[in-house]
């Protein structure tokens, strides 16, 4: 197996793992923990499990107030997930593939919720007293966030310098001339 095939296989397995783990945790919230009925389970002074039905996307934006909006969100997020999947298959570096796999696995978990339920199950509630620095979220949201942070960090801090073949005799890249 080539290193490229290995990296892509790792990415696909990670995306699948994130998806399965997200769905497993959500099934625990609905099933054995009965979070929907209990609404809140206090665990730590700064962390609770709190039942939330998210009808929107990130930060509750673009709330699906109708059946048409629900399916529009499923379609749009499905297209984004497809684009991330294609992007992941085109990448070569393992860290880029891992970041995209986190995004893909999280997106698929939330898409499945929205497709089957009409909303995304959120449950993780970090807080300091009554102050909530984050919205209530789930594992899929956390995976998407970490994936985006990795991509941003790599793009800001690990920019590749042009190779010698990409520079002219004066040491300038084509973009600088």
Active-site residue, 125 included? no
Mean pLDDT computed over 157-164: 65
Question: Which of the residues 113, 141, 168, 169 is marked catalytic?
Answer: 141
At 120-153, the pLDDT tens digits run 999 999 998 888 888 899 999 999 999 999 999 9
Question: Which of the residues 122, 125, 130, 168 is marked catalytic?
Answer: 122
Mean pLDDT computed over 51-55: 93
Cα distance between residue 111 and residue 118, in whole Å = 9
pLDDT of residue 132: 84
Phi then psi dihedrals of residue 22, to 5 deg: -60, -50
- For residue 68, give the 3-state DSSP assignment: helix
**CB contact at 8 A, 119 and 113:** yes
Cα distance between residue 168 and residue 163, in whole Å = 10
pLDDT of residue 177: 43
- Tracing tokens 């339920």 back to the chain, one arrives at 117
- For residue 92, give the 3-state DSSP assignment: coil
Tokens of 124: 């993780």
Bridge partner residues of 94 (DSSP): none
Mean pLDDT computed over 28-42: 94
Q: How far is CA 149 from the centre of its chain?
A: 10
Least confident of 3-12, 22-31, 61-70, 121-130: 61-70
pTM: 0.84
Active-site residue, 122 included? yes
């Amino acid at each position: 197996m080539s290193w490229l095939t290995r990296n892509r296989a790792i990415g696909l397995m990670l995306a699948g793992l994130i998806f399965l783990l997200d769905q497993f945790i959500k099934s625990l919230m609905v099933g054995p923990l009965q979070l929907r009925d209990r609404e809140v389970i206090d665990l730590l002074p700064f962390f609770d499990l709190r039942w939330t039905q998210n009808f929107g996307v990130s930060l509750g934006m673009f709330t699906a107030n109708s059946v048409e909006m629900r399916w529009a969100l499923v379609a749009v997020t499905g297209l984004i997930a497809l684009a991330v999947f294609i992007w992941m298959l085109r990448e070569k570096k393992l860290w880029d593939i891992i970041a995209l796999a986190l995004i893909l696995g999280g997106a698929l978990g939330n898409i499945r919720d929205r497709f089957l339920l009409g909303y995304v199950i959120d449950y993780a509630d970090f807080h300091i007293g009554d102050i909530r620095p984050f919205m209530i979220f789930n594992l899929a949201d956390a995976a998407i966030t970490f994936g985006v942070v990795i991509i941003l960090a790599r793009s800001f801090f690990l920019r590749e310098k042009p190779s010698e073949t990409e520079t002219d005799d004066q040491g300038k890249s084509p973009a600088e001339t």
